[in-house]
Amino acid sequence: MPATVVVGTQWGDEGKGKLTDLIAKEMAMVVRYQGGHNAGHTLVVDGESFALQLVPSGVLYDHIVPVIGNGVVVDPFVLLAEIDTLESKGVDCSRLRVSGNAHLILPYHQELDMLTERYLGKNKLGTTKRGIGPTYADKAMRVGIRVQDLLDEKIFRAKLDAVLGDKNTVLTRVYNRLPTDPDELADRVMAEVVPRLRPHVADSVGLVHDALDAGENVLFEGAQATFLDLDHGTYPFVTSSNPVAGGACTGAGIGPRHIQRVVGIAKAYITRVGAGPFPTELFDADGDALVDRGHEFGTNTGRRRRPGWFDAVMMRQAVRLNSLSEVAITKLDILDTFDTLKVCVAYDVNGERHEHLPYHQSDLHSAKPIYEELPGWQSDLTAVRERSELPTPAVRYLEFLEGQIGAPISLVGVGPGREQFVNFSG
């Protein structure tokens, strides 16, 4: 039965958390399929803010089973701390299930992430330093340690011993750091993690298919975004997983025929954290206004996000890469004060017009945006709930985006609160 995927269509922080929470109301299960605690998904419910990193965004509903899929990389210490924070706010996390096949982020992964970035110097990627890259690298190298390994102390200790032989050589000889003591780390994991995590560990693929077979709606929540995708993003300025909708298949264990609806989330403008090409980036007062009005600072890392105008060229690529059936536009209210708004409709690459994303990264670096300018509305949208209440220039802006993207806009965000949205399709 129906599977829905929520996917970021830009460079992250589009408001996936808010939209997932919104759509999750009609779902029985919400499954995260990739990434780790590099994600920061914010939900605002009744004025209270929840910043989720690993726990799926459906957790606030009592009827939902939140599942961390096999494609996710899990720092068990962070996960338990997140559960504690949620429970201190009255959120019941007992239904949370974690795939036994998910890989573990352990302290040496974070240390290596930090050291690699330091070593790269001015060429650094600007990672979140959460150990994401090193953990997925271990998975691909087949030396990773999985959540299921926690359930057998002998296996866990043996795997940790083996992998730390190699990691400690790198840590001590390449980076001149202290080695990680395998016994100390294993003792800590066995004492602090295993007793608490054990009840949550599950066969996530079985759970997802039982729900689908029973005719229940299952939502797959992507983290990061299309242009941070390891294969399709602006490599090497990407994350180490596959946030695109297809990632839901591998990261949760379903075939593509289950997916009936793919909701692409896009801000009404665009932001990016960390390094990498960004054709519509703004370095002027408009950019500062987007950052100030949009509070564009990382949910977890606090870093200033780089702002830019909406890029329809990227969105057309996102439609292709994800088979988007609809688009939700978020943060339209942030544009409330602008006299005019720009939308990038094509790129000029060495005098040639490109309506679709050039495949060569050098072309993307040198691409100059070709803009169309539209009038702003200069009124406060945060209390708008119906399409008919939107000022005409706002409707025109959204219709213009729809035409440029080539996919219908379903929902439009006009504020961070769960209730602050407009159903644009009807």
What does the binding site for ligand IMO look like in residue numbers (CB under 6 A)? Answer: 8, 12-13, 38-41, 125-128, 130, 132-133, 223-225, 228, 237, 239-240, 273-274
- Alpha-carbon span 202 to 185, nearest angstrom: 24
DSSP character at residue 284: S
Residue 334 binds which of ligand GDP, Mg ion, ligand IMO, none (CB < 5-8 A, kind-dependent): ligand GDP
Query: In the complex with Mg ion, which residue's Cβ is closer, 232 or 305?
Result: 305
Q: Which residue's Cβ has the minimum distance to ligand GDP?
A: 413
Residue 111 binds which of ligand IMO, Mg ion, ligand GDP, none (CB < 5-8 A, kind-dependent): none
Considering the rule CB under 5 A, would residue 182 count as an interface residue with Mg ion?
no
CB of 372 to ligand IMO, least distance (A): 27
- Alpha-carbon span 101 to 292, nearest angstrom: 41
Considering the rule CB under 5 A, would residue 21 count as an interface residue with Mg ion?
no
Residue 416 binds which of Mg ion, ligand IMO, ligand GDP, none (CB < 5-8 A, kind-dependent): ligand GDP
Query: In the complex with Mg ion, which residue's Cβ is closer, 13 or 311?
Result: 13
CA 336, distance to chain mean position in Å, is 26
Query: In the complex with ligand IMO, which residue's Cβ is closer, 4 or 224?
Result: 224
CA 131, distance to chain mean position in Å, is 16
Query: In the complex with ligand GDP, which residue's Cβ is closer, 78 or 201?
Result: 78
CA 341, distance to chain mean position in Å, is 26
CB of 12 to ligand IMO, least distance (A): 3
13 catalytic residue (yes or no)? yes
- Alpha-carbon span 341 to 344, nearest angstrom: 10
Residue 331 binds which of ligand GDP, ligand IMO, Mg ion, none (CB < 5-8 A, kind-dependent): ligand GDP
CB of 18 to ligand GDP, least distance (A): 4
Are 36 and 135 spatial neighbours (Cβ–Cβ below 8 Å)?
A: yes
CB of 26 to Mg ion, least distance (A): 23
Q: Residue 285, class by beta-carbon neighbours within 10 Å (0-12 exposed, 13-18 middle, 19+ buried)? A: exposed
Residue with structure tokens 């295993």?
194
Residue 44 binds which of ligand IMO, ligand GDP, Mg ion, none (CB < 5-8 A, kind-dependent): ligand GDP
Query: In the complex with ligand IMO, which residue's Cβ is closer, 277 or 375?
Result: 277
Radius of gyration (C-alpha) of the chain in whole angstroms: 22
Which of these is catalytic: 21, 37, 41, 311? 41
Alpha-helical (H) ranges within 153-236 are: 153-169, 182-188, 194-197, 204-213
For 46, half-sphere exposure in the C-beta direction (CA atoms, 13 angstrom radius) is: 2
Beta strands in 255-378, from DSSP E residues, in sequence order? 259-267, 270-272, 306-308, 310-311, 326-330, 340-349, 352-354, 368-375
- Footprint on this chain of ligand GDP (rule: CB under 6 A): 8, 12-18, 40-42, 44, 299, 330-331, 333-334, 413-416
What SS3 class is residue 199?
helix
Query: In the complex with ligand GDP, which residue's Cβ is closer, 70 or 420?
Result: 420
Considering the rule CB under 5 A, would residue 229 count as an interface residue with Mg ion?
no
Q: Which of 15, 35, 40, 416 binds Mg ion (CB under 5 A)?
A: 40
- Alpha-carbon span 424 to 411, nearest angstrom: 5
CB of 47 to ligand GDP, least distance (A): 12
Q: Residue 214, class by beta-carbon neighbours within 10 Å (0-12 exposed, 13-18 middle, 19+ buried)? A: exposed
DSSP character at residue 35: B
- Alpha-carbon span 191 to 19, nearest angstrom: 37
Are 378 and 337 spatial neighbours (Cβ–Cβ below 8 Å)?
A: yes
Considering the rule CB under 5 A, would residue 75 count as an interface residue with Mg ion?
no
CB of 82 to ligand IMO, least distance (A): 14
41 catalytic residue (yes or no)? yes
The sign of the torsion formed by the CA atoms of 8, 423, 333, 42 equals negative
Query: In the complex with ligand IMO, which residue's Cβ is closer, 41 or 167?
Result: 41
Please report, for residues 6, 31, 71, 73, 280, the alpha-carbon distance to residue 34 in angstroms, rounded to integers and kept in the order given. Answer: 12, 9, 5, 7, 27
- Alpha-carbon span 419 to 421, nearest angstrom: 6
CB of 268 to ligand IMO, least distance (A): 16
Which of these is catalytic: 13, 138, 229, 333? 13
Residue 54 binds which of ligand GDP, ligand IMO, Mg ion, none (CB < 5-8 A, kind-dependent): none
Residues annotated catalytic, as ranges: 13, 41
Residues lying near Mg ion in the complex (CB under 5 A):
13, 40, 299
